[in-house]
Amino acid sequence: MRRTQLSILMVLFAVPAVAQTDGTYLLLSSNTVSPTTTITTIEIWATWTDPRVEWIFGAGDYDLTAGEGVFSNPVNVLHGPGSTTGVITGNVISGAVNGQLNIPLLFIGSQDNPILLATYEWTTTDFTVRTVTLTTSNTSQFIVAEWGPPPLGGRTFQMFPQLFTAGAGVINVVPAPAVWVVLALPLAAATRRRRC
């Protein structure tokens, strides 16, 4: 299913591997989660290292997993043909696909690197202090395309698996501010005793 979606995304021809070094997903949390701010927005970005010429993001897929909690409200930011936010089951998003058309002669295709692919909201009801891990898995495609007019432009390069690294990130969770005050009182008292 994913291969079909990705083939729709890329109306380009593949070339043998060139001097490419790395591609990955960046997983960013918009804020710390607490009882007063119970939701954070998770941003999924694609980034890669350019070889000798400039490349743009073509298409990629992934599953996104949080160590716990619940995902909701998916939004595809990069939503070329065949893109999908995937299926959300609690703390797992399966089968997400993002891509864009690359037509340099018509100036179609964003050259941003990193490029924002999608956003999801995440929440929890447990506000003990901790970090929740975010990871991508089950990636089978991470494609970049050469930017420029033919014959050089439009060629695609598949970075997965040799030159691809799975994405990772964290969500920080803290208790209510009042709890922090209670936890800080013994420390303040100890500091005052030392000064006397």
**Residues 22-77: pLDDT tens digits?**
899 999 999 999 999 999 999 999 999 876 568 899 999 999 999 999 999 999 99
Segment 75-95 mean pLDDT: 96
Q: What is the pLDDT of residue 10?
A: 40
Least confident of 80-84, 157-161, 170-174: 157-161
Output the pTM of the full model: 0.79
Q: What is the pLDDT of residue 146?
A: 83
Instruction: Say yes or no to pLDDT of 112 above 50.
Output: yes
Among candidate residues 134, 160, 129, the one with its CA nearest the CA of residue 57: 160
Q: Given the structure tokens 């695609």, which residue do they identify?
A: 156
- Which range marks the domain in which residue 139 is found? 2-195
Q: How far apart are alpha carbons 14 and 2 in whole angstroms?
A: 18
Integer distance in angstroms from the first to the last C-alpha of the chain?
71
Segment 150-167 mean pLDDT: 82
CATH of the domain at 183: 2.60.40.680
Sequence-ordered list of residues with C-beta below 8 angstroms from that of 174, at least 6 positions apart, any chain = 32, 33, 34, 127, 129, 180
CA distances in angstroms from 116 to 14, 34, 135, listed in the order given:
24, 25, 16
How many structural domains are present in the chain?
A: 1
